[in-house]
Structure 1
Amino acid sequence: MKRNVLKFGGTSVSSLEKIKGIAGYLKDRVRQGEQLVVVVSAMGKTTDELLEQVSTITQSPNEQDLAVLLTTGEQQTISYLSIILNDLAVKSKPLTGYQAGIETVGHHLKSKISKINTKLFEQLFETYDVLIVAGFQGFNTDNEITTLGRGGSDTTAVALAAAIQCPCEIYTDVAGVYSTDPRIYPNAKRLQVVSYEEMMEMSALGSGVLVSRSVEIAKNFNIPIYLGKTLSDEKGTWVMSTVEMIEKKAVTGVAIDQDMIHVTLNYPENDIHLLDRVFIHLEQEEVNVDMISQITNNEGLQLSFTMKDTEEYQIQKIFSHLKEDYPELYFKIENQFAKVSVIGSGMRDMTGVASKVFRTLIESDIPFYQVTTSEISISYVVDIENGEKAVQLLCKSFEL
């Protein structure tokens, strides 16, 4: 029997009426002879509301306690969906991450999936046609509840598809992957197919469609991902292995990350041991940094990097701890910047992309402060008020 993994995001399940619509859609798929694993997020802004409530209690909650609380949002959704499906005579079973056998390692709020018990799914499919799994969560070797961090439901869905070897369909409020955010550039083109590599870059550099972790899993296990609009007939986007084309475009898309912070560290001595401790702490706290620049000379040490603003608490904690041993350490955290990136696998074989981006920004009087490159992307840090303007200009320049 054909099997598929489907994932529905928070906006898709934000009300009982929407959940009822999804249940009707799933019933039709089961009638066509499919068995489904359905991964769901918390309803609407439930997770944000839970975090807001916690902030009225404390600014430094225990991570284990917080993980237990945050996973309740997805459990609410799986319960509602299963109740509705069973009422429609569709045999379904709701499963928490623990019940689904999703084992994790790492911090309670940023865990990574280590193993999934696939035998459990085979047994359950003997009785049920739809298994509804709470996204974003799992359990560790101490049987404690954990969460998978930002975009964790995408990661859950793709990991389950990899475990049971079937395609993964991810549904949200947009019809696939666009060359850039249509809210910023209304003429953005929808992409029919995008490679794993391009999607990973776009996700890592600010595109909010998929988290890069989920795409990496798909690439490692060669799992095709379909991104589409919930309960819509509009064609979406397939993310899969590189498609051989007669002629590749140099640039596929432009991404913007406005949820970043710029961190600068200064110390009056050129102390390599301080650098070592900084990166040890970053690794221990599982903080991802990028766009790193370092200056060392007779006047001392300067280190700058960018990171997601959601991890500002961790970086504050790290530097406060370091100042105990390095009283003259100075650090500054700024949030008035945006990262704008151009992405395209065609860059490997084509020249002139960087110079075209430089000219576009310079001719439009948009200053940039840091630049970093990979094989298929170039990223620039600009003032946040110039971020969306830069995206629009680059889309026009590369005809996206």
Structure 2
Amino acid sequence: MRVNASFSVPGTRIARAAFGLLLTGCFAGTAAAHEGHDHSATQLTAASEGPVAMSSTFQVGDKTYRWEHRNDLGAQPEKMVAAAKGGLHNNADQDPQTKEIVTVVKSYGLVTLDPEMKAWRLVEDQDPHFAAGMNSHGTDCFEFNGESLWAFASTNTGEVVITKRGEILAKLSKPEGTEFANEKINQYYANGGKFVPCDVVFAPEAQALIVVTGYAPGDYALTAKNVDGSWQWTGAAWGGKENEGGPFSTAHGVEVNTIGGNEVVEVASRSHGRIYGFTADGEMVAMPGAGDGKYIQLPPRSNPCNIANHGDELFLPLLNPLADSNGVAPVLIISDGKPVGRLVPAEYEGLNFMHHMHGFIAIEHDGQLFGIALSWPNGGENSKGKRNDGQIAIFEAVEVK
């Protein structure tokens, strides 16, 4: 989903193009804001009480800001919390018309967060399919023919589900192998190739859904369009595993942005930590700040699960820790191909089990920047006694004085 080109933080409004260039000092410290850690040498005085999570700060001009956990927002029913704790493997998006935040919590159902971000609620009269075990590993909300639609890429059920507020309009399952303008990819599916959709996004100029399939040997980007009132696979398809001639190594997240006046499909290739850009026809284009390979190479150990855009910045939830993130994963902020900030949810009180970041969305509300982070519970770690939970948390960018 596309976002506004500017936002304001307390006391100022700044241009998004300048914002990325002014974010500095975000990596000066990595101490977690937990009792028992020494912040005496680096702690700033916050606008609100409590210690500052130093690695979650950023700077705009001569002012410093940090992400503040808004635990007064995003109230969840107990059953939703319980379902998310062990089963959250998803992302969320904002409805372009109602401004609600939308996702599916596995074995709980299709939920929305109201525009004021006060509380999550189950969508009324939703199809039982949403509570039957599917996840929303990838989520996109978009406008089509004047209506607001929601699309979910479900890895565990192997389908892309398109819905109008809980009414299922279409399910896209594995292609048959005759649909695309790429014979190699057609042959892959004709031979029974594995299909696991990781993420989905609607490209409004191309009037097409783009789906990435990084959990499969194919590792492709596939196109679906609405033809005569029916959503179906058709048109462009590209990619492939890197060792098989493709650019991807687990294409895990996909987003659409406008760069230089052109619509660009951004793909997060998780295993080798890269962000690629393409036209909707699959032609690779240079991302801002990219090297000779046209892609953005992220810092070592970066494994982005999804992409959120806000103006010129990319917000990338990382699956695992960086070398300097104290054993927990951050949301990495990139501008012009460079890291300019981060958010580490596990630094905050009550969120210390958000070890693996899977989803993130950056939104504006009343001129303020907010981030909604979703963590993934690593079942293997939990079975060995290293607790980590699936949780959803809301953060606001606030000034530190």
Q: Give the TM interval when normalised to the shorter protein.
A: under 0.3
Greater helix proportion:
1
Q: Kindly indicate whether structure 1 or structure 2 has the higher relative contact order, using CA contacts under 8 Å at least 6 residues apart.
A: 2
Q: Which has the larger radius of gyration?
A: 1
Greater strand proportion:
2
TM-score, normalised via structure 1 length: 0.23
TM-score, normalised via structure 2 length: 0.23
